[in-house]
Amino acid sequence: MVTENPDPLLGRPAPPFCLPDSLGNTVCLHAYRGKWVVLYFYPRDNTPGCTLEALSFSNALEEFAALGAQVLGVSTDPPESHQRFADRHNLSILLLSDTDHSVIEAYQSWHPKKIFGKEVMGTRRDTFLIDPDGIIAAVFRNVSPKGHEEAVKSELIKQQERKRS
């Protein structure tokens, strides 16, 4: 669900970044200028919710591409973990590694979480829809992975129609 209260990043330029993908190649946000970008942050490779989300985006990748959008998944896992994750689940989305969580922090997705009653810092499951001009057009905070890609796709279509008007 799109954030009800205006998110502080909504309507602002997307924080720039360059991160390694699962093969160690550097991927920079500015390379996608002129395209829509679905940037989603997730806690960890090979966990049930993260696997469901990655599979959902992977299965919808052609639909997103047809809408002119690139899907990028980001977690703090290293590139080697992303490669194993992608191989194990036959993922086709681009997974990026933010081991120092600097990009996750820039998007305000690094938050305290309770794990086994103990508070630790970790990645919140958030998604950002970035328009072709590099502006954050929609923000989805603390999402549930089930059906999330459909909500993002629906918002993407709505935003594209709004830009055409």
**Torsion region of 164: left, alpha or beta (phi above 0 gives left; psi -120 to 50 gives alpha):** alpha
Cα separation, 35 vs 85, in Å, equals: 26
Q: Is 14 helix (H, G, I), strand (E, B) or coil?
A: coil
Is 18 a catalytic site residue? no
Q: Is 125 helix (H, G, I), strand (E, B) or coil?
A: coil
- CB environment 3-40: b (16+ within 10 A), e (fewer): eeeebebbeeebbebebbbbeeeebebeebeeebbbbb
Which one of 19, 29, 50, 61 is the catalytic residue?
Answer: 50
Reference 129, options 156, 158, 93; nearest CA is 156
Catalytic residue numbers?
50
